[in-house]
Amino acid sequence: MAKTSMIERDRKRTKIAKQYAAKRAALKAVINNRSAAPEEVDAALTALQKLPRDASPTRQQRRCRISGRPHSVYRKFGLGRNKLREAVMRGDVPGVVKASW
């Protein structure tokens, strides 16, 4: 089980990223606009840099829904490898069977 503080920190990052998503998208649109004036682009860059670091969605960690494990988490299921294996063995995941040949 992951530390509760780490799980809460990641939830906080998710909340902050949602809060600043529209503002980040607007600033990035100005930065990527080829017809924008250089001064306007510079102003957008400095405004983007002044946003909180946790406003960036890349700082979020994908975690297992059950255990909170940050590594080896399958996107399709949202579970870590250990919990996914347990769920498959119980038959909770439809269409997935243990491979044997």
The answer to whether residues 80 and 93 belong to one domain is yes
CATH number at 74 reads 4.10.830.10
| pLDDT tens, residue by residue, 25-62 | 999 999 999 998 999 999 999 999 999 999 999 999 99
Q: Are residues 52 and 70 in the same domain?
A: no
Q: How many domains does the chain have?
A: 2
Query: The domain containing residue 73 runs over which residues?
Result: 63-101
The token duo for 99 is 């491979």
Among left, alpha and beta (phi > 0; psi -120 to 50; other), residue 12 is: alpha
Whether residue 85 sits in one domain with residue 38:
no
pLDDT above 80 (res 1): no
Which residues are CB-neighbours of 30 under 8 A, at least 6 positions away? 36, 40, 41, 44
Question: Whole-number mean pLDDT of the chain?
Answer: 92
Together in a domain, 2 and 29: yes
pLDDT at 14 (0 to 100): 94
* pLDDT of 2 above 80: no
User: Taking the model in full, what pTM does it have?
Assistant: 0.76
Residues 21 and 54 in one domain: yes
- My answer on whether 48 and 70 are in the same domain is no
Average pLDDT score over residue span 80-95 = 92
